[in-house]
Structure 1
Amino acid sequence: MASGTRPRGRAGAAGPAAPGVPASRRRGAPLHPGAWWLWALALGTAATRTTNPLLLALLVTVSAYVVATRRPNAPWARSYGAFVKLALAVLVVRLLFAVVLGSPVPGTRVIVHLPEVPLPDWAQGIRLGGRVTAEALAFALYDALRLATLLVCVGAANALANPSRLLKSLPGALYETGVAVVVALTFAPNLIADVQRLRAARRLRGRPDRGVRGLLQVGLPVLEGALERSVALAAAMDARGYGRSAEVPPAVRRTTAALTLGGLLGVCAGTYGLLTAEGGAYGLPVLLAGLAAALGGLWLGGRRSLRTRYRPDRWDPRAWLVAGSGAAVAALLALAAARDPAALHPGVVPLVAPTLPLWPAAAVLIGLVPAFVTPAPEDVPRKEPS
């Protein structure tokens, strides 16, 4: 080969990329994980502003579509199904409680009359069995759908946001806590993968993998592998200086603790005020003051961290679009709940069929923006035959 020439690949193949440019920059950088969480939490906030089952079903459909089109092929991304099953379990348990324990909602349309168990005088207000009305079941269903939608939205965030990349974006004051949370979140998928691998190996060897005996013989190797991973992780964290902190004056430490604790209390009080009808006047100011104090405490607490970030994720315009789309859904549904509460909270006494309000439904569809502005998940490259 002559000097100065570059080896060429197959006909039509692109030449090698410029050195020093990360692969994530060449193929389109993945979205900032914080944007996914803000989008999902905003959809969950929108779900708390309505009990209309049609709007709640539309919120679930929007989040499910985004997850189906943008979920990467990774172990931590498979948690969405678990959250959906948890949401279905919430529905079943809530309806079961309404049937067995009754409901405070009065009703006239009796579906079934169960045998009622007599209770002592000190248990007044509680009943077991008795009449089961359509109004009580509708009230329980609407209430459970709201919580189930919130769980599905949180599951969407878990399936879309890479936990290790989210850890890189945390403030320095929350780094150690974030590491513990990420380790806990990634432990379950690895455990499930170990169980599936060992059960498949036992089936190939003709050994039983079900029942108590199979569970014990599979559980011991899984536990051994988990302990080995824990020891290896502890050694790696110790080698990287995990837990080391810089010296700061005592006054700064006390100010940091006061700002963080006071800010978190303010966030809790402000959130409670926003979610209740009586606290609408003070909820937003207290929430904003709590956020400002908490951010100030986190900024001061970050001075104790000695770590640096390698290629930090950038908050680009796509992240603003994704987070803004979720915030728009939450804001518009909150406005609709204030202007037309009857449409977003269908009545159960008397029982009426819920209708789909047009402009709140159109507002929910804004949550589909991430499916069109974010990059598609990359496929795992396959090796070419030599």
Structure 2
Amino acid sequence: MLSAADRPTLARLLHPVAWWVWAVGLAAAASRTTNPFLLLLVIAVAAWTVLERREIGGSNAFAVFLAIGLLAIVLRLAMVAVLGGGVTGRVVLVRLPEVPLPDWAAGVRIGGPVTAEGLLSAAYEGLRLAAILACLGAANALASPRRLLRYVPATLYDVGTAVVVGLTYAPQMVEDAGRVRAARRLRGHSGRGLRELAHLAVPVLEGALERSLDLAASMESRGYGRSVHRTARSRRAGSLLTMVGLLGVVAGLYGLLDGSTPALLGLPLLVVGVLLAGAALLVGARRDRRSAYRRDPWGLPEWVVVVTGVVPAVVLVVGSQQAWEGLVPVQVPLTFPALPILAVAAVLVAALASVLAPLPPQRAALDAARAARPAVPSDTMVPS
């Protein structure tokens, strides 16, 4: 018999770790290809999942990350057009005035011919970065980073707090800026120009400061806080072991995401880093005690969402190792990118999370209210 946490139809918030594993797996899949159709499919899957499973009133960080991804594509195209680099093409679209450079700057140019192949390669690379940012934006929209802070080990509580603040500060300021701009427009201001931007800075920063003070006061009134009883020697040893382990994890993840790195920089280094970091966390957790209040359950829906995110990562990593046709389109000569069917199916598996994950409580309540609302016949006359 399934428990309450294992029922996929039960309205509840999914565990934030499950959403982040799903998003990281989808981002890892996007990092292994430059096929524009696959990358657009990754963005579409992330957007659809956010549309279906984002809680009402939750963070709208996904739109912000999409805008940053679009900006990354534009900057990539501009840099390749002005500074060159990347693929050397044959089809010249335009010739920009070229600035002569000294001999020691060989390989670097400013201006010169702009080729279609070079711009296409830059667009592919920029679109890959935009897809990865879209996956991270989906994770921020589906599971607030502040919820992750409850599951950070006690040894990394301070570091986790700094990371959570960094992940939530920019999207929250964008939302505050939108509210202030809308309020100023209601008062007759145009809302454009650098002068108007300067007028937005003070109320946005003031609102962020007031919100921080209110949160700190509410936490203090509820007895939040912690006391750590550790010697200086154990603290230094634990910090060193943790830092070495985290560096190994970061280097290992970079090796997995970048197919051009040596094999030893990928999975082996990641495993060693995880073991070292895990040992440091276990040692520190014995001394740093933290209390928990109503932790999110981990049931069958969490496992399903994790699997749907891991499948595309595994399939595309294997495909990149075996050099499947279409994962990295050929730019010289210009050809229409092939579409690997197995990779498309793997990315579509991630879209199952939008159906198999439970509905958030407020969204489920709104859907129930709409379903219970009596339907009005189309031929009913409304009296004047």
Q: How do 1:34-113 residues align onto structure 2 when only pairs under 5 Å count? A: 34-76=17-59, 78-113=60-95
Look up the SS of the partner of 1:342 in the other structure. coil
| Structure number, greater radius of gyration | 1
8 Å Cα contact 2:65/2:134 also seen in 1: yes
Quote how far apart the aligned CAs of 1:374 are.
0.9
| Alignment partners' CA distance in 2, 1:202 and 1:105 | 47
Look up the SS of the partner of 2:13 in the other structure. coil
Q: Percent identity?
A: 47
Quote how far apart the aligned CAs of 1:220 are.
4.0
Q: Look up the equivalent residue of 1:347 and give its one-letter code.
A: V
8 Å Cα contact 2:325/2:338 also seen in 1: no
Instruction: Decide which of 167, 174, 197 is 2:149's aligned counterpart.
Output: 167
The total of aligned residue pairs comes to 360
Instruction: Decide which of 216, 234, 238 is 1:256's aligned counterpart.
Output: 238
Look up the SS of the partner of 1:39 in the other structure. helix
What does the per-residue CA deviation read over 1:105-128, in whole Å, with 9 as the maximum and x for residues that have no partner? 222211222222222333322212
| Alignment partners' CA distance in 2, 1:363 and 1:107 | 32
| Alignment partners' CA distance in 2, 1:312 and 1:198 | 35
Instruction: Decide which of 208, 225, 228 is 1:226's aligned counterpart.
Output: 208
Aligned to 1:334: 317
| Alignment partners' CA distance in 1, 2:252 and 2:198 | 49
TM-score (normalised: structure 2): 0.83
Q: Look up the equivalent residue of 1:135 and give its one-letter code.
A: E
| Alignment partners' CA distance in 2, 1:218 and 1:270 | 42
What does the per-residue CA deviation read over 1:25-80, in whole Å, with 9 as the maximum and x for residues that have no partner? 9953221011111111111111111111121111111111111111122242x111
Instruction: Decide which of 324, 329, 334 is 1:346's aligned counterpart.
Output: 329
Q: Does 1:138 align with 2:120?
A: yes
8 Å Cα contact 2:99/2:111 also seen in 1: yes
Quote how far apart the aligned CAs of 1:271 are.
2.8
Deviates more, 1:192-201 or 1:344-353: 192-201
Instruction: Decide which of 175, 179, 182 is 2:161's aligned counterpart.
Output: 179
Deviates more, 1:244-253 or 1:330-339: 244-253
Quote how far apart the aligned CAs of 1:355 are.
0.9
Deviates more, 1:34-43 or 1:367-376: 367-376
8 Å Cα contact 1:272/1:279 also seen in 2: no
Q: Look up the equivalent residue of 1:305 and give its one-letter code.
A: D
Q: How do 1:135-284 residues align onto structure 2 when only pairs under 5 Å count? A: 135-188=117-170, 191-192=173-174, 194-204=176-186, 219-239=201-221, 244-274=226-256, 275-277=258-260, 279-281=262-264, 283-284=266-267
Look up the SS of the partner of 1:173 in the other structure. helix
| Alignment partners' CA distance in 1, 2:106 and 2:50 | 47
Q: Look up the equivalent residue of 2:88 and give its one-letter code.
A: P
Instruction: Structure 1: state its 5+ residue gaps.
Output: 1-20
Look up the SS of the partner of 1:73 in the other structure. coil
C-alpha spacing 1:335/1:114, structure 2 compared with 1 (3 Å): same
What does the per-residue CA deviation read over 1:189-236, in whole Å, with 9 as the maximum and x for residues that have no partner? 554555555555555555776666665665544444433333333334
Q: Does 1:369 align with 2:352?
A: yes
Cα RMSD of the aligned pairs, angstroms, is 3.0
| Alignment partners' CA distance in 2, 1:188 and 1:366 | 31
Q: Does 1:310 align with 2:293?
A: yes
Instruction: Structure 2: state its 5+ residue gaps.
Output: 370-384
Aligned to 1:5: none
8 Å Cα contact 2:66/2:137 also seen in 1: yes
8 Å Cα contact 1:245/1:304 also seen in 2: no
Q: Look up the equivalent residue of 1:336 and give its one-letter code.
A: G
8 Å Cα contact 1:84/1:152 also seen in 2: yes
